[in-house]
Chain A
Amino acid sequence: MSNNVLILAERAGDKLALVSSELCGIGRKLADEKGGSLVALLMGGAGTQELAKGLIALGADKVLAAESDILDGYTNAAYLKVIDAVITEENPNILLVANTSMGRDVAPRLAFRHGASYAHDCTDLSIENGKLAAVRPVHGGSAISHVRSKTDSLSIASTRAKALPLADIEEGREGEFMEIGVSVDEDEIRMNFVEAKKVEAEGVRLEDAEIVVSGGRGLGGPENFEYLQELAKVLKAAVGASRAAVDAGWVPTPMQVGQTGKIVSPNLYIAVGISGAMQHMVGAGPSKNIVAINTDAEAPIFQRARYGIVGDYKKVIPALTEKCKELMDS
């Protein structure tokens, strides 16, 4: 067993995903505390090798790139095979993945296979008595648990988006780069990637937006998201939603903010007709300023808001939009 930390970096199209930087940041810190190296693995189709090299500037000592057509579309079976071989070869003490649809899909299987511990959806990680320790919000964010791995061998954790700082970028930093061969037989993986259908956000992406306007069940129907679109246009904001609005079929899943949706950290989050359930606030909580518009003065959202208006959004939003437009134009 080495003292090394292995991270599973991710691509976002033809860039490194932001979570890769978050993983490098925390991975670097843990590797230094352990006195080991930071090893980063990036998997994917064409272009993966070139992108992987960028992980060195983010703090990786050694970068492994697995590039193959079979990794172009995600199937956990093929990805698991590659990661498994890397774990066997590198023998890391810690493996970090991001809590993404990929990270959370591979980590439990790897942990079980290797007799490792696994802490899911961590907001902080450290080393305690030589072991991996983590902070995990549980019960939808209503409680916080601090946990510690009981094993001296492999410990695995997934990190929550936006909870950990991005890595410092050090251009020209030196590190080792290695291509790794991929031999996955289509038959052995027992599944077949058919296609991915991406929903491109119109305008600003929710995760990157400086201002987010979000709507919930209180809007009363899909057509009323139009009120929020108008305000968002004026503020150059992205539009989000609560799960209640998504479950009602008013807006698509990629707009969902929360524990099982997206985590956002804009400068301003305007919650309209959203009660502020803990599971929603997991995603909206990192926002710097929260404004709530709700007819119920007792709604928990007001406990988290900086400014609030108690009242019907149908009256508030058009007036807010108009005044914002006036201010933005002046």
Chain B
Amino acid sequence: MDIIVCIKQVQDPDIPPRDFKVDEEKMDVIPPANVSPVINGFCENAVEAAINLKDEHGGKVTVMTMGDEKARDGLKKCLAMGCDEAVLLQDEAFGGSDAFATARILASAIQKLDGFDIILCGRLSSDWSYGTTALALAEALDLPSVSQLQKVEKTDAGIRCERALEDGVEVVEVSTPCLLTASNEINTPRLPSVKGILMASRKQIPVWSLADVGIDPDAVGEEAATIEVTKFYKPVFDGNCEFIEGESLEEAAGALALRLREDKII
């Protein structure tokens, strides 16, 4: 079973709100100093799911990302977790690509590889949350897709997927090749082992440019984007919390109940 995982490097989503800064002019975030980017959480779930499938059924896992030099660290980590190969898609011309252009770049690059059974992605990126790239990639490659998986299994009939829904689960069987997206319920990503880190450090990560990927320059970058950002800012919250105190916590709790009653909230 050969699997391709598409990952994205993102700003650490656990940065506390007070350290989260934006440049309203440039309409972009200002990354805090000394905080490294991380692999998008759902992408890490996708990597873990891929490695588990490989461990059970054989084959290899190739991890791929379109991004800058920092994205290389993410690929390294995936190799250390147990992925077999990595490809970095990097070109100035890719800058400003929207989710559709990213999907086109990934699709072209994937067509250069030797085929696959499954493409695994994350259900959403935690930074810009386009919620688009993975399923657009499925469309670009004309693959059946099943999204937000909380469980995946290979069966005789194909791939058995459990989708995590608002009010339960949905079970779908899909044939290969296919594209799947992982939700956080699917697993807890492993930490790379020391041995894994050593092995990863010896692996070369090829960098593919626009020419290597073989994509029309007009189909990527800012010019090709279908949407423009017109305004960007941090929301403000008034933060007028009234702390209820008392001789004891029990007393404070009683006072809170009374306040809620006075305000006709309960």
User: Contact: A253 with B226, CB < 8 Å?
Assistant: no
Residue among B13, B232, B235, B241 making CB contact with A306, cutoff 8 Å: B241
Closest-by-CB residue of A relative to B188 is A247
The B interface is mostly helix, strand or loop, or mixed, namely mixed
Contacts of A146 in B (CB 8 A): 229-232
Interface centre among B139, B165, B225, B253 (most CB of A within 10 A): B253
User: Contact: B239 with A141, CB < 8 Å?
Assistant: no
Contacts of A324 in B (CB 8 A): 257, 260, 266
The A interface is mostly helix, strand or loop, or mixed, namely mixed
With A146-B229, A267-B265 already in contact, the answer to whether A108 and B139 are too (CB < 8 A) is yes
CB distance from B138 to the nearest CB of A (A): 7
Q: With A and B bound together, what is the CA distance between A140 and B185 in angstroms? A: 18
User: CB-defined interface of A72-101 with B at 8 Å, one 1/0 digit per residue?
Assistant: 011111000000000000000000000111
User: CB-defined interface of B172-198 with A at 8 Å, one 1/0 digit per residue?
Assistant: 111100100001110010000000000
User: Contact: A192 with B173, CB < 8 Å?
Assistant: yes
CB distance from A192 to the nearest CB of B (A): 4
Task: Assess whether B71 is interfacial by the CB under 8 Å rule.
Answer: no
Task: Assess whether A254 is interfacial by the CB under 8 Å rule.
Answer: yes
Closest-by-CB residue of A relative to B254 is A323
Contacts of B242 in A (CB 8 A): 306-308
State the total of A-B contacts with C-beta under 8 angstroms.
267
Closest-by-CB residue of B relative to A113 is B139
User: Contact: A112 with B136, CB < 8 Å?
Assistant: yes
Q: With A and B bound together, what is the CA distance between A305 and B241 in angstroms? A: 5
User: Contact: A108 with B253, CB < 8 Å?
Assistant: no
Q: With A and B bound together, what is the CA distance between A98 and B203 in angstroms? A: 44
CB distance from A11 to the nearest CB of B (A): 12
Chain A interface: which of B87-95, B156-164, B205-213? B156-164
User: Contact: A235 with B131, CB < 8 Å?
Assistant: no
Contacts of A108 in B (CB 8 A): 99, 131-136, 139
CB distance from A140 to the nearest CB of B (A): 6
Contacts of A195 in B (CB 8 A): 170-171
Q: With A and B bound together, what is the CA distance between A197 and B36 in angstroms? A: 40
User: Contact: B266 with A328, CB < 8 Å?
Assistant: yes
User: Contact: A133 with B230, CB < 8 Å?
Assistant: yes
Contacts of A327 in B (CB 8 A): 257-258, 261, 266
Chain B interface: which of A41-49, A62-70, A148-156, A163-171? A148-156
User: Contact: B103 with A112, CB < 8 Å?
Assistant: yes
Residue among A115, A196, A310 making CB contact with B171, cutoff 8 Å: A196
Task: Assess whether A16 is interfacial by the CB under 8 Å rule.
Answer: no
User: Contact: B184 with A247, CB < 8 Å?
Assistant: yes
Closest-by-CB residue of B relative to A291 is B256
User: Contact: B185 with A253, CB < 8 Å?
Assistant: yes
CB distance from A255 to the nearest CB of B (A): 11
Task: Assess whether A35 is interfacial by the CB under 8 Å rule.
Answer: no
Task: Assess whether A111 is interfacial by the CB under 8 Å rule.
Answer: yes
Contacts of B245 in A (CB 8 A): 309
Chain B interface: which of A176-184, A217-225, A314-322? A314-322
Residue among A73, A192, A211, A317 making CB contact with B266, cutoff 8 Å: A211
Task: Assess whether B9 is interfacial by the CB under 8 Å rule.
Answer: no
| 24 A-B contact pairs sorted by A residue (CB < 8 Å) | A101-B163, A101-B165, A104-B147, A105-B135, A108-B133, A108-B134, A109-B138, A109-B145, A119-B227, A120-B130, A133-B230, A139-B127, A144-B232, A190-B174, A190-B175, A192-B174, A194-B172, A199-B167, A253-B164, A254-B168, A307-B260, A319-B250, A323-B256, A327-B261
- Show the binding face of B for A, using Cβ within 8 Å: 11, 13-17, 20, 22, 27, 29, 99-100, 103, 123-124, 126-136, 138-140, 144-148, 150, 157, 160, 163-175, 178, 183-185, 188, 225-235, 237, 239-245, 248-254, 256-261, 263, 265-266
Contacts A254-B168, A309-B252 aside, 9 further interface pairs with beta carbons under 8 A come to: A101-B165, A109-B139, A120-B132, A121-B131, A141-B235, A145-B229, A147-B228, A247-B188, A308-B243
